[in-house]
Structure 1
Amino acid sequence: MEYFLVVFMAAFLVFVTYTGLGVRQANRLLPVLLLAFLTRLVVHVLVMRPRIIEYGGDNRTYLARAGEIATYWRQSGFRFVTGDQIAAIHSMEVPCNLFAVVVYLCDGPATLACTAVVATLACLLCIVMYRFAQLIGASERAAFRLFVVVAFLPALLVHTSDTFKDGINAFLVVTCLWLVASNVKRFDVRKLLLMVPLLWTLWHVRPYMVFMCALPLVVGLSPMERKLSVRSVVVSTLLLVPLVVLLARMDGGASLTMLQEQLELGQSESVRRANAGGGSGVLFEDGGDAWSALAPKLLYTLLAPFPWTPGSLTLQFGKVDTFIWYYLLYNALRGARRLWARDRTLLFVLVLFIVPGTIAYATTMANIGLIFRQRMPIMLIVSLLAALAWSATDPRERFRSALPRRAPDPVPPPQPAATPGTAR
């Protein structure tokens, strides 16, 4: 049954690719997708399962909890299990229930089939990134280049080659922001309806990521002008206030309470010292205040591990991903200038996710390995701007921009109206 599920997920990936893209684009992207899918399975079997690199731990936790859910289903019937039934799965219900379906069908752990599910979501994420890059104005060639980079990005590859939830989180976040940006281009209520289950799922994967998507969502819903102005920024910010109040009243303030608790827990000195206990831990001279020493924390959040940082083999491997990230970040600054001139509202949508998210992570910064995983959604959104910079060097794009613009057809002068008695 396990191998059948692996083949089924590969067939599902082919079906979605041809359904969501045109035949020409699907024929171009599918070989890369299948290679990316197969690579993740190979990495799982040859690297992750025999633990050649000592990394992770939560991946095995999710699989163990999935086994508990499968046992619960056999005893009490099939339903979505939450923290009310099994307290240990609080705030990670979706990954555990998703893997539990595989465990239930295979009547055992079935790590390869679970990895196939995560690998499929990673490949779907690549498709969303490809469409997202084209949406903000990247050329097809630059979008495909970004598609290949994301498909084999080392950090994403490792975290989607086992039962981690980071790939699931990245897929949900990027898809939500893609729908927001698409609504900025052309409003469609169906996109908003599609965001409801996505945000609900994200809430049960990483709850705080829903709030990180809230500001871009408000911008996508607000009637902002194409050219960003100070007034539009103020209006969008003010629109967020009644939305937050409404959400707080709908659930009795439980969502905001959870956000505050998670932020305070992540920023607490005890948790940060505990996270810094590993081999890649970092402590800052901030006097116990999470908001102090913010500049070096931001530096570590964005750029760690540095080339000179000593550490384990896993950390050294992480530097490969970091060098790619430096390249993407440099090109993203160039791409942001192009998007500023072309569509400031879209740039505002991206920045409203990148900047607050980076600052929030910086206040909890205590471990290079942890922040290496957490910044993946930010890294993916930033890489979209890099695709715009690559478009500027696309020969076909430069050729199209060099073409002289066709002059508008001359408007004929209005003819005098005929007066009565003049017609013969």
Structure 2
Amino acid sequence: MEYIIVAAAATILVFLVQSSLDGHVARRALRVLLLAFVARLVIHVLVMRSLLPYGGDNYTYEHRALEIVAYWKREGFQFVTSDQIPALYSVAVPCNIFALIMYVCGGPALLACTSVIALMACALCIVMYRFARVIGADERSSFRLLVLMAFMPAFLLHTSDTFKDGFNVFLVVSCLALATSNVQRFDIRKVLLLAPLLWALWNVRPYMVFMCGLPLVLGFVGARRALPFCTLALLAGVLASLAFFPGAAPNAAVETMQEQLELGQSEAVRLANAETGSGVVFDDGGNPWSAFAPKLVYTVLSPFPWMGGSVVLQLAKIETLVWYYLLFCAARGTRRLWVQDRRVLMLLLLFIVPCTIVYATTMSNIGLIFRQRMPIVMIVSLLSAVAWTRTPQRPGQAPSGPLTPPAARPTGAAPAVGP
């Protein structure tokens, strides 16, 4: 059964590529993404679980998934949250998906779980291609971005086993892609599609919902063709929920975010994270906002080429060199997008800047930040794709996002598919 799930994941990938991209692009992308899919399975078998055992979180989520399977056998099939198993706090979606695969296969089935993660990683590459086209990158640059993201070392490593990072970056980029598409052409269906994505993101990495908050608001209120009635209706609904249910979900969500931020910034947690081989201790007197400049440098630019450490840390330097190149290109892309569409640029920066600042205040481990900044790397790389573009076009001239009606798409545009 495990191999059937792997084959099914590969088949779904073929369908996604063929239905999401133009014919000639689809043919090229299919070869790349099938290679990326197989590479993740090979790395899982030969590296992650054999030559170079890596991680900790992946083993934890595997164990929690098995706990869910045991719970289902006792209580019946249902979506299990931290109310039933407290250890599932903030990781309910990945663990339930892994548990479903294990339940169907009758055992751990780690290869099948990895195939689903690999499918999600390849789907994200498709989203990145379409996202780049939306903000004005040409076909050549967007495809170059797709290939690069498919094999970025951090992304490749953390989507080759049962980590939750693949879920996190997929959901974050998909939400921002919908928001950006809405700036170009408003569609209420895109707003509605955000609801399940944000719910899933809340059950993967809750604080990232707030990191996406400002870009999502700008994507809604800054839309060129937003209907006034829809705007007023949705704003009225939000205000009504705050007025009539002041102690309900919104306040609870904010409290959860504050608790997570305080926990991540606490001196005890930062010192505990710094005890590992790639830990870093800053002379900040216990204040997470002190020594902010060096923390920011480490957050954005580490691991540095001269640093020693584990084998994984040395391999991470390969991505770091690529990351430096992407940052250089992103600066050029920012200048170009400033001229082409400042609203789109502002939407991207409203994610990149606050997210980087928050991570800098919790910085204490290079290996951890190497994983955490993956969404930032993805969004910055979109600006690089704009810089690579040889024939600049008006942002939104390409397919404008997941749920664009066929009649509204420009002639010859690819059929739109949700992330």
**TM-score, normalising length from structure 2?**
0.88
**Aligned twin of 1:413:** none
**Aligned twin of 1:161:** 160
Does 2:94 correspond to 1:95?
yes
Does 2:208 correspond to 1:209?
yes
Does 2:323 correspond to 1:351?
no
CA contact (8 A) 2:155 2:374 kept: yes
**Aligned twin of 2:376:** 378
Tell me the SS of whatever aligns to 2:196: helix
**Aligned twin of 1:39:** 39
How many angstroms does 1:18 deviate by?
A: 1.6
CA contact (8 A) 1:54 1:314 kept: no
**Unaligned 5+ runs, structure 1:** 227-237, 402-424
How many angstroms does 1:248 deviate by?
A: 6.1
**Unaligned 5+ runs, structure 2:** 226-234, 395-419
Greater gyration radius:
1
CA contact (8 A) 1:142 1:387 kept: yes
**Aligned twin of 1:414:** none
How far, CA to CA, are the matches of 1:251 and 1:194 in structure 2? Answer: 20
How far, CA to CA, are the matches of 2:150 and 2:85 in structure 1? Answer: 35
CA contact (8 A) 2:352 2:380 kept: yes
CA contact (8 A) 2:179 2:215 kept: yes
Tell me the SS of whatever aligns to 2:82: coil
Higher relative contact order (CA 8 A, sep 6+): 2
**Aligned twin of 1:218:** 217
Does 2:347 correspond to 1:318?
no
Q: Which amino acid aligns with 1:92?
A: V
Q: Which amino acid aligns with 1:108?
A: G
How many angstroms does 1:25 deviate by?
A: 2.5
Taking the TM superposition and a 5 Å limit, the aligned residue runs for 1:140-151 are 140-151=139-150
How many angstroms does 1:75 deviate by?
A: 1.5
Tell me the SS of whatever aligns to 2:72: helix
How far, CA to CA, are the matches of 1:370 and 1:200 in structure 2? Answer: 24
**Aligned twin of 1:304:** 302
How many angstroms does 1:24 deviate by?
A: 2.9
Does 2:343 correspond to 1:334?
no
Tell me the SS of whatever aligns to 1:49: helix
Distance 1:248 1:338, change over 3 A: farther
- The worse-fitting range, judged by mean Cα deviation, of 246-255 and 32-41 is 246-255
**TM-score, normalising length from structure 1?**
0.87
- The worse-fitting range, judged by mean Cα deviation, of 339-348 and 66-75 is 66-75
Q: Which amino acid aligns with 1:97?
A: N
**Aligned twin of 2:184:** 185
**Aligned twin of 1:360:** 358
How many angstroms does 1:243 deviate by?
A: 10
Tell me the SS of whatever aligns to 1:78: coil
Superposed CA RMSD in Å reads 2.0
Cα deviation code 1:283-329 (max 9, x no counterpart):
11111000111111000000000111111111111100111100101
Distance 1:223 1:372, change over 3 A: closer
Q: Equivalent of 2:282, from 281, 284, 295? A: 284
CA contact (8 A) 1:225 1:345 kept: no
How far, CA to CA, are the matches of 2:104 and 2:223 in structure 1? Answer: 49
Percent of aligned positions that are identical: 61
How far, CA to CA, are the matches of 1:205 and 1:382 in structure 2? Answer: 22
**Runs of 4+ residues over 3 Å off in structure 1:** 223-226, 241-250
**Aligned twin of 1:133:** 132
**Aligned twin of 1:261:** 259
Tell me the SS of whatever aligns to 1:253: helix
How far, CA to CA, are the matches of 1:30 and 1:143 in structure 2? Answer: 15
Q: Which amino acid aligns with 2:378?
A: L
**Count of aligned positions:** 383
Does 2:388 correspond to 1:390?
yes
CA contact (8 A) 1:2 1:113 kept: yes
CA contact (8 A) 2:47 2:53 kept: no
Distance 1:299 1:81, change over 3 A: same
CA contact (8 A) 2:184 2:224 kept: no
CA contact (8 A) 2:186 2:224 kept: no
How far, CA to CA, are the matches of 1:243 and 1:157 in structure 2? Answer: 44
